[in-house]
Amino acid sequence: MKAQYYEPAYDLYYQYDNYRDSSFTGRRFSYHTVAKSVTKYHNAAVDTLGTSIDGKNIYGIKLGSGPLKVFMWSQMHGDEPTATMALFDLLNFLTANDNMNETRSHILNSITLFIIPLLNPDGMEKYKRRSAVDIDINRDALRLVNPESQILMNNFKAFAPDVSFNLHDQLPRYTVGITHRSALLALLAPAFNYEKELSPNRTRAMQVCAHISNVLSAYIPGHIARYTDEFEPRAFGDNLQKLGSSTVLIESGGWKNDPEKQYIRKMNFLAYVSALSALADDRISKIPLNYYDQIPYNEKYLYDVLLRELTITRNDKDYLIDVGINLNEIPAAGHTGFRVASTVEDAGDLSTFYGNRDHILTGYRIEPGKVYPKTFESIDQLGNIDFDSLYGKGYIYVMANDAGSFGRQNDYPIIVTVPDFDKKERKNYLTIGNAANFIITKDGKTRFVVINGFLYDTELKAGYIKNGLIIR
Ligand SMILES: [Zn+2]
């Protein structure tokens, strides 16, 4: 057996691709892909634990024979898939046969592992958070209305795990404390009462969090946060902590240029193997608790787009203004992709915030965009438009007699509206909570257009507008 204190994550970082389940390539995968991956582990016991509201099987996988019982489940929120992918990578690792055999047999001889890789298949198929009857499973730990909640609670009680991992995703724009650094992971040992008291099992959960933070800081320094520990009596983590299992919450957040969360998935995989290995040789119990307390809290100091130091004019007077915009994902039909609906989140002095796309626009003016004078018959005719020539003249709206469904997105990089388009929209072009549609000028010339939150440089003809909107 390898000596205690051997840290497998440092080697697995370089060998990860050997275990990466290649049937998962991005955040949106099918139930079929999960069901197929579940069946391929021949030295693990696969069980159907029950079915979801819409009748899909929920699988449990058991492996290992050790005295310490560890329970892991993912995707109780259907649109939080990162850990599901990483759990299949973990299963591939634990059932492989290679130079890491000592580590895996050390884990499997010390731990009995029970994994539910996908708790909410109905939500997953629609890429939505809640169950098929729109109940949040993570607020259903007391009532247990959803069959998914019952499956989780019943299996928890039957298995009686020493340690539990409750695996989620959070929005990618959370930061680590008051910094510009995204929280790639947010960790938490949930409280089991309003007083946030400590108990031996909660203490161990804190030590697991601290261990993960210490090890992964080699790769993502400053990108690990601590999730807020307010007690939520209806949530699973809080209740399972209360029932005596050391419960660890891992939230997968954001990482620059990783929209499909594949690097975040790798960091999850390393976290799981590292935590299991440290639990197996009892390294966890030696970690000082202040390591946990030193992890900064999850904060919200990031916008998807931050436009700094613009000038806005009202009644011939100029005002300095920053604009913070978020690009919200709207699942597309068939749930295989997504469109974007932007919102202006805030305006004013945002100098304490950061943008994933951060633009300093000192000396530029923010103004309402113009409406292209020609009316089109329908949206289908927009395919022939030379959008660059429109942007250069400040046109960001086109009118169509048949403009489609209002409040929706259109696939063209332009805002579609109706011929009797209300000029109010242009007058209120900068309104908190509305979409971000305006132009940015210098010396009377349109230098940038902002269409549905996406900034496009009309001079360099550079930028990417994923989709437009349909408004009235
Ligand atoms: Zn969640």
pLDDT at 256: 86
- How large is the average pLDDT for residues 193-214? 97
Per-residue pLDDT reduced to its tens digit, 163-198 = 999 999 999 999 999 999 999 999 999 999 999 999
Burial 203-238 (b: 16+ CB within 10 A, else e): bbbbbbbbbbbbbbeeebeebbbbbebebbeebbbb
Domain CATH for 114 = 3.40.630.10
User: For residue 422, what pLDDT is reported?
Assistant: 66
- What is the average pLDDT score of the chain? 95
Q: What is the pTM of this model?
A: 0.91
Q: How far is the CA of 31 from the centre of ligand 1 (A)?
A: 18
CB-facing half-sphere around the CA of 161: CA atoms within 13 A:
28
* 248/365 same-domain check: no
Tell me the CA–centroid distance for residue 273 and ligand 1, in Å: 22
Domain that holds residue 451: 303-469
The C-alpha atoms of residue 60 and residue 113 are separated, in whole angstroms, by: 10
Q: How confident is the model at residue 472 (pLDDT cuts 50, 70, 90)?
A: confident
At residue 1, does pLDDT exceed 60?
Answer: no
Centre of ligand 1 to C-alpha 368, Å, is: 38
Q: Which of 79, 76, 96, 97 is nearest to 88 (CA)?
A: 96
- Using the mean position of ligand 1's atoms as its centre, give its distance from the Cα of residue 102 in Å: 34
Domain-terminating residue out of 278, 299, 320: 299
pLDDT of residue 307: 98
Let me know if residue 448 belongs to a domain: yes
Considering its fold, how many domains does the chain have in total? 2
pLDDT greater at residue 331 or residue 186: 186
Q: Are 433 and 343 in contact (CB under 8 A)?
A: yes
Which are the contacts of 321, defined by CB distance < 8 A and separation ≥ 6?
Answer: 310, 311, 312, 347, 348, 366, 430
In the block, tokens 């275990």 appear at: 19
Q: Which residues pair with 260 in a beta bridge?
A: none
**Using 50, 70 and 90 to split pLDDT, how confident is the model at 407?**
confident
Burial of 148 (0-12, 13-18, 19+ CB in 10 A): buried
- With cut-offs at 50, 70 and 90, classify the pLDDT of residue 205: very high
Residue 425: the pLDDT is 65
Which residue, among 1, 2, 8, 3, has the nearest Cα to 277 in the 3D structure?
8
Q: What is the pLDDT of residues 424-440, one digit of tens each?
A: 667 788 999 999 999 99
For residue 346, the CA-to-ligand 1 centroid distance in Å is 25
For the segment 447-457, what is each residue's pLDDT rounded down to a tens digit?
Answer: 999 999 999 99
Q: How far is the CA of 121 from the centre of ligand 1 (A)?
A: 14
In this prediction, residues 105-110 reach a mean pLDDT of: 97
Cα torsion 203, 182, 254, 85: sign: negative
Are residue 88 and residue 224 in the same domain, yes or no? yes
Ligand 1 center–CA 464 separation, angstroms: 30
**pLDDT computed for residue 424 by the predictor:** 65
Q: Tell me whether residue 2 is in a domain.
A: no
Question: Which residues does 317 contact at the CB level (< 8 Å), separation at least 6?
Answer: none
Q: How far is the CA of 17 from the centre of ligand 1 (A)?
A: 27
Task: Assess whether pLDDT exceeds 80 at residue 159.
Answer: yes
Residue 354 inside a domain? The answer is yes
